Amino acid sequence: MSTLVIVESPTKARTIRNYLPSDYRVEASMGHVRDLPSSADEIPPEVKGEKWAQFGVNVEADFEPLYIIPKEKEKTVKQLKDALKDADELVLATDEDREGESISWHLLQVLKPKVPIKRMVFHEITQEAIRDALKHCRTIDEQVVRAQETRRILDRLVGYTLSPLLWKKIARGLSAGRVQSVAVRLLVNRERQRLAFRQGTYWDLKATLEKEKTPFEARLITLRGIKVATGSDFDESTGQIAAGRNVVLLSEADALALQERLTGKTWTVANIEERPMTRKPAPPFTTSTLQQEANRKLGLSAKDTMRTAQSLYEQGYITYMRTDSVHLSEQAIAAARTCVEQMYGKEYLSPKARQYSTKSKGAQEAHEAIRPAGSSFRTPQDTGLKDREFRLYDLIWKRTVATQMADSRQTLISVEIQVEDAGFRSSGKRINFPGYLRAYVEGSDDPNAAIEDQEVILPPLKVGDHPKCTELEAIGHETQPPARYTEASLVKTLESEGIGRPSTYASIISTIVDRGYAQMNGNALVPTFTAFAVTGLLEKYFPDLVDTGFTSRMEQTLDDIATGEVDWLPYLQKFYLGEEGLETQVKVQESQIDATVARTIELEGIDAKIRIGKFGPYVEAENGDGVVTASIPKDLTPADINPEQVETILRQKTEGPEKLGIHPETGEPIYILLGSYGHYIQLGDAQEGSKKKPKRAGIPKNTKVEDVTLEMALGLLALPRNLGVHPATSGKIQAALGPYGPYVVHDQGKEGGKDYRSLKATDDVLTITLERALELLSQQKTGRGGGRSKTKEALRELGNHPEDGEPVNIYDGPYGPYIKHGKTNASIPEGESVEAVTLERALELLAAKASTAKSTKSSTKSSKSTTTKKSTTSQAKTTKTAASKTTTKTTATKKKTS
């Protein structure tokens, strides 16, 4: 008897094949084999004339979806049908979540098997789990399939009904999404808070005290028995002390006068309080907490985290990575406890097995948290994993093992010190027993260093002691606006609000950035002018669709459909049809929406009109000759634009660019211009009808335009600078300015390639010496997430090329993932996932690319015209950043005495 097993990806198929009997054949479906049409070309001819065909959902016939097999999946479907002909049994072993259940259902509809069918589910790919799953097969859960289908239909109806409205009223190409639009509104609302924020200023004192030659710090907290104001006492909308706060607000003069008055006076310990504290380890990872922590600690985007976790799961290293649950199986608890005892000792083991319960309301995706797979956990060092996969597995291993470790026992120490009428406080922390902190500390990759950082040791003090003041500083503070969302904090908010599901967060964030609703500024998500315009329209005319509560209730209804508590059809009918349905709302509101108003963004302090046009945002203003319009640079956002920039943009359009001076050698003028990506320098004028562009140079990001001198401009235009040769290779070393900042490069020839290093903040690309360049080049490169790497990190290693034995790998590039073999790069076609690409498929794509390149080269040669295109790709640095906090923070300036 032969059995055909179908999974989603080749990697998963290869892993599972190792644990099944020899008469089991495992094939991959490459994800979904059917879906709604994604374009008009995919709509079957027989229904193209139907009104509903554009949706891919027949709203007039009980919302019947129009499923098609995409062209790129036809070959896969044929292969699966051929494999089924030789099988006596079909086992559908797709993932255990809604998406996996839906893939299995679609496979049944397409393959129409005439042999017995089984549905096999498992949450880890180990021999024990696979064999156990074979013994406990079930049928496809139709209710779960219906819930997934309802979600797909709902998303299609919202997107395809609202997006055309946005095209008419704002700009073509825009999109609206059921969850995407809510997430964009969160970003916009945070930016509105930042724009409405008014800065407050306050001062306080910091003392450096000494007892028994041990220094410690103390801060001013009271004056004449009244609390001294801090940042939390300010009203963010006024920049003044919030109403009802009884505090002393110190000005700079007050602080300096107090500093002078207290200098040389006697300091007395008035009170000491010690309070024991116990800290428990965090629960094991769910999808959302893994995305958050990987973003904070490793600098990975949600998309990269899920891609890497998927690979780890399919290779059998971790359990299923789409889950809302923090539950651990008895097997996992036993494995974790064994690790603790063996690696840290019995004293670090929690007295009882620690189990966690899931608190999120809609938790449903799987039955266990994300953890190392198997009944015994492989240590990260024993896995053989590398780079990103190693770091993510290491994170999951540490978090899981820490759950079964003893609590951390600490003592918090608060010392109140009086000097005349001023009260100071010094806080310390003593770690009596590190417990789980020895293995895992949230937000840090080095537990030992983290423990040391957390401990604040105070000297032995008792009431009545008189510590010596060695330094007293007056420190000024300015309150800061609420922090922008990072990927980590946005994921956390989406989860806490019940918006979307963890498995969708990565695609939501990716969509927001890809479609121009947000830009990544370091680790922060910054909403664009388009985001402001779209959010404003939806808030005014379709408030429910961008309301977090409404969206959360929709998610709950979809969960209820999965459990059979709600009927899907009446829900869709109520949402879309009828007097209050979305279809009617759009028809009614369309005539009410003034397109000019919808395209206009009102910003306080900006007199000119800012609008969204066919080619992006622009400013519009009246002058003596009529209306002037000018495009806004692409990297300028609503948070950054100010009246001076608007004036510059308009002046450049009407009067031409600002002239810095004349080049001493060529006699050509040197201009400062404002372009799509910010200010830049240009040598000479563009000649009408000439294809040759004037030489241009970017201005370093941290340099203010008004600080650019003629001398600096000449230096920037002269880049790259030759610094000399490398003493070991005789290779040329240059300093230059690229899209991601200044750098030095060592040209090691054809075989060695080029070795790049970014300059540090203290380095100047115009003055850096050969000696400093050699010092930078001698340092290891810093990869994503802070790891060290000498070469670009591969997303996947597919194997070696059969012709030359050279590696064939998949890398992440600026335009998406691509396959690399030697000097040949081939893009992965749209619709194919990184995980689904096999070595055979990669060889096909590389061969096609090589053939195209030869054809192009031959054609170019015969026409005797050559065009040289140079492109430099570099990966933006990732800064490890903690999740954003909405509390007011401060920046400080100091004035001190000793």
Amino acid at 711: E
Q: How far is CA 708 from the centre of its chain?
A: 34
Whole-number Å distance between alpha carbons of 753 and 822: 12
Answer for the pair 304, 437: CB distance below 8 angstroms, yes or no. Answer: no
User: Pick from 422, 410, 489: which is nearest to 259 by CA?
Assistant: 422
769-772 long-range contacts (CB < 8 A, ≥24 apart) are 769/723, 770/723, 770/724, 770/733
Answer for the pair 463, 269: CB distance below 8 angstroms, yes or no. Answer: yes
Question: Is residue 666 packed enough to be buried (19+ CB in 10 Å), middle (13-18) or exposed (0-12)?
Answer: exposed
User: Pick from 609, 586, 503, 477: which is nearest to 199 by CA?
Assistant: 477
Contacts of 172 (CB under 8 A, 6+ apart): 614
What is the secondary structure of 486-516 as a DSSP string?
BHHHHHHHHHHHT-S-HHHHHHHHHHHHHTT
Q: How far is CA 644 from the centre of its chain?
A: 32
Amino acid at 218: A
Contacts of 809 (CB under 8 A, 6+ apart): 794, 795, 796, 797, 798, 819, 820
User: Pick from 369, 362, 322: which is nearest to 95 by CA?
Assistant: 322
Q: Which helix (H) or strand (E) holds 738?
A: strand 732-738
Which residue is it, tokens 């479609």?
Answer: 515
Q: What is the DSSP letter of 295?
A: I
Of the residues 320, 436, 440, 541, only one is catalytic, namely 320
Which residue is it, tokens 């008897």?
Answer: 1
Q: What are phi and psi of 631, to 5 degrees?
A: -65, 145
Alpha-carbon radius of gyration of the chain? 31
Sign of the Cα torsion 841, 842, 845, 846 reads: negative
Whole-number Å distance between alpha carbons of 735 and 709: 20
Whole-number Å distance between alpha carbons of 392 and 317: 11
Whole-number Å distance between alpha carbons of 615 and 676: 11
Answer for the pair 643, 619: CB distance below 8 angstroms, yes or no. Answer: no
Sheet holding 3-7, edge to edge: 24-28, 3-7, 89-92, 117-119
Contacts of 359 (CB under 8 A, 6+ apart): none
Q: What is the DSSP letter of 327?
A: -
Structure tokens given for 69: 């097999």
Structure tokens given for 518: 């947000």
320 part of the active site: yes
Answer for the pair 326, 284: CB distance below 8 angstroms, yes or no. Answer: yes
Q: Is 145 left (phi over 0), alpha (psi -120 to 50) or beta?
A: alpha
Answer for the pair 162, 169: CB distance below 8 angstroms, yes or no. Answer: no
How many other β-carbons are positioned within 10 Å of the β-carbon of residue 771? 9
Q: Which residues are catalytic?
A: 320
